[in-house]
Structure 1
Amino acid sequence: MGAVTPGEEREFNDLLLLLKETRGFDFTGYKRTTLMRRISRRLEALKLRDYGEYRDYLELESEEFGLLFDSLLINVTSFFRDTAAWQTLRETILPALVAAKGPGKPIRVWSAGCATGEEAYSLAIALAEELGLNEFRERVKIYATDLDEKALQVARTAVYTERHLAEMPAELRERYFEPVESGFAFRRDLRRQLIFGRNDLTRDAPISRVDLLLARNTLMYFNTETQLNIVRRFHFALADPGYLFLGKAEMLLNHGDKFEPVDLRMRLFRKIGSSTAGMRAPLTTDNPTSGPYTGNAELQSAALVSGPVAQIVLDRSGSLAMMNSRAEMLFSLNPRDIGRPFQDLEVSYRPVELRSVIEQVETELRTAELQDVTWRRPNSAETSAFDISVVPLLAPGGEMLGIGINFNDVTRYSRLRDELEQANRELEHAYEELQSLNEELETTNEELQSTNEELETTNEELQSTNEELETMNEELQSTNDELQQINEVLNTRSAELDRANDFISSVVRSLGDAVVVVDSDLRVLVWSPGAEDLWGLRPEEAIGRQLTGLDIGMPVEDVLPHLHRALESAQSAGNGRVGGAVVNAVNRRGRVTRLDVEFSRMNAEGTALHGVIMVMNLVAEE
């Protein structure tokens, strides 16, 4: 198809509106490319030029609606379609499902988009084989739904021709079908376990508490937004554990928080997470004089106040009756607002006009839902999104008690949707065409097989990458072990160094009252506690500085000749004492002290001079 002009787009929308208003079929959630392609076939068959002419033709020829719906609602199905997938279902899913339910418990199944019923009856056969005929009749209920009433009528009749049953194993055909005049009919005693009905997946409520849901090659006809809504409904419909069986052209690429694959190639998924996020129960009120919790108004009030969803309750006169903490914080309400008319409050029209919605709910006594309402709070740069439910609160007798308003914050989901929207636009066209043509043309099966092989190749590449990452992880673990060993060696060396320092400190303390060690440049290397007590300088104030630059009471001019003599004799063999002197000094207390100073060379291994040791002993103090 070529590019669609604005005029053609407008005429196409008018045609969809006609189908919705006159026949109740809403195709706005279906993929537009598929709809245009199918309707264009009708235009070619009728020799019509555009959608406008076809709309006029539909208004004149009412029987054309049936032919159009047959073209749009593609009812392509068969018994045990995709045999490998059904084999996996029978060997993996059904035994796990039966074991999880326990003996005697009912099993509920929903076949959504059942068309003429072949897959619903296939499922009945599979469950009967798993449970046995008696248990199947007692425990199983299969709900099969579709939008096409004509196809549902064929499914209810349950009569199929030899061609329809050609791919079914002979023993199953003999066990579950009875020969009739026009073909073969599914066993009457088992048929009553199947209930067929019309259901629009885009609008009607889903069947709840089902253990297994089949929707094979149904999602692929809807656009991305409608698929998201339908998958949320499927998640709500399934019990826990619950299983979803899709067609081979369908994937749940963006629903990892709702379903996990049991067998991705066979499109079998298991429900995860809670159902309450997508389908919330409306806020209602009970008769305060009934039930086991009579009189617990305080408990009910506490539950309302602490709820994570902002909630507001109006009485029957339209005044504010209750609100929870979340609503107070979100809409700047306070207890003084209790009893005020709701229409006088800012929340009645911001973030969205609620007064008209409340009037509608009071008139129809039916919940109203406002989806994805955006609002920028005062003094805030961020925009929030809410799903708002306006719920009538009814007494058991049906009397109107008030209105409940729930503001569910969906900002995070809205932002995620916006982030994915651009990527989905780029992928949507090619992916939609591939899915649609898979059902319409036999030749596209080869293309899908090729795509499947590419996906397998990609999966193998990802597996190889995963193995490389695992190898790198092991290498990092090995490096970490080596670092751990080095760290242990360093800890050992540090402990040895601490012991050596303690030993040197004890040796220094034992040499005399005060000990100072200097290097060849007369920088202080050691400053003993005795030296600290004698001169009043702490080690950190002395170590590393020139001895001649220290502000102490020792007559450096009397000591320097002996130090230089000790340094000049560095080439002589051996270590030990090289001289001494008695000097008069002034200690830290300001008293004149007579000191006996001994000088000894300190050499490292070999002949390299390392420093001079000065031992100062107190002779007399005035």
Structure 2
Amino acid sequence: MSEQIGSEYDPGFEAILEHLKETRGFDFTGYKRSGLVRRVSRRMAQVGIGDYPGYLDHLQVDADEFAALFNTILINVTGFFRDPDAWDYLQSEMVPMLLAERGPGDQVRIWSAGCSSGEEAYSLAIVLAEALGVEQFRQRVKIYATDVDEEALAQARQATYGQRELEALPEAYAQKYFERQGGRYVFHKELRRSVIFGRNDLVQDAPISRIDLLLCRNTLMYFNAETQSGILRKLHFALLPRGVLFVGKAEMLLSHTRLFDPIDPKHRLFRKIATAPVGGSMFGAPYVHEQRATLDARDELRALAFSGSPVAQIVVNSDDLVALSNQQAQQLFGVSDLDVGRPLRDLEISYRPVELRGYVEQVRTERRALRVKDVEWQRGPGEVIALELHVSPLVSLGDDVIGVSVVFHDVTASHRLFAELAGANRQRENAYEELQSATEELETTNEELQSTVEELETTNEELQSTNEELETTNEELKSTNDELQTINNALRDRTSELDDLNEFLESVLTSLRAGVVVVDHQMRVVAWNAGAEELWGLRHEEVEGEHLLNLDIGLPVAELGPVVRPALADPAYTEEVVLAAVNRRGRHVTVRIACGALRRRGGESTGAILVMETTDGVLEPSTPDAARTSGDRS
């Protein structure tokens, strides 16, 4: 791997991140560089590419490489009730407290951000079902589970797990909330309907709103400090007042005390700090009504257009605070800048000229626009105004309702005109023709709506087909995983056999009382048994890898060269030599050394093996040739 891969900032590496962002829509620039470089380098090593430009070319050419890189970068490590102590505290202390703070019929909204393959979301479902009972859980609880990894989400939606995944789950929960189908366990279908999975990028996408309990565990640690701050502001916005944030054991939020108060730092549970700057807040940033010099031209035009709209309009955010109001609303209903940021219920406009809060909640719940007609308002003595309200949900790119727009149309003139036309209808015959024309227009509109319905039905069929294809793909992935598991088991058995064989060979060498030395073709020591250690006083780790003729062991090793070299060349060669030596205790001894070739099954020589034994008596130093005897003569 080239030197450039070692640095955290490199133009080539940044080019890869920019390519992923532009072509695939995944922004990894907020991740910590050290971990990101390490994972990308691991993937580059797997495909055999040594520099960033070369790997970028590979990404551009091979369409399948992105998926492999994505799975390497995203570490989907999860499990049921991961960190049991923290989950016990959540179940015994936090969940009862959250439920006690809410009414018996209030909805409970939970968000599991970074849910991976779904174990965390289903753990939440079990905790809430235990606290509320199954029936109350189905009626009141919604669990939103999100991740950026589509493959992990596809696995989570199946709600099926193997025996290994359920090992951390208490046996009572496994029996109560899972059904066994073959060798797999399927989460209870009735409870599964309350768990909604969807893709959400915490860096780029808008958060889910009005959340009571938010889990974002072991996810923040992959991002740098700046990106963490942005994500935490979004999580703060997502939570209701007194909402609870549950993070991983490696995440402390010590630098974010403005947003969260610790409930139990040991178990990483934090409470949202309610912040109410003038004008409300969105993702932790206040709405400001004064035109700021830093606004670019387009933002300024948008703000001026809203403020100068000829119809009265207010915007209520997800916390039921008045977020915006234009000049017409201020003039017509007396809403001032000081009212922006206040709860809607505290303002007169919430119940006059019409009970507005019910319509706002209806639109937020049903996620569709509502038209309220024939509203009459006694504005002053003798002044009656006719209004028509258009209440519309404001949906973010992440498909979340982040606010509600209320537009008040003054239709007083239209009502008066209609009354005049109604009186003239009794005098003029052409009124019927005008009504007939209006009927025809309505019929045309109805036909267009019918056409739209048919198009939607066609789209629904296409989506159904896509879902079936995804199910087929999931089955194929499951089959592949089973095959890989079989191969892994076979490799594990093979490794066990090799370990047994190595242990057997080690025990053979250890059991031999004679000194056994094995050398390779370069005459480097590759084996040195306990007998050799006892004879010469050197441990195997001191001599292995050393040249035989360079050893200082009290043996005239120089005399071994003419004996060992033929064995390295001739697989059939054997030779025996007797030498005078000094053992590890300093005594003069006579050593008989048998040398032969170390042969493969095919017959070729791979080294030499020497067997050393001391003989009775001591051989006095003499000419080496006098001490050598041929293997044949012996």
Shorter-chain TM band: 0.3 to 0.5
| Superposition TM-score, scaled by structure 1 size | 0.47
- Identify which of structures 1 and 2 has the higher relative contact order when contacts are C-alpha pairs closer than 8 Å and 6+ apart: 1
Between Structure 1 and Structure 2, whose CA radius of gyration is higher?
Answer: 1
When normalised by structure 2's length, the TM-score is 0.46
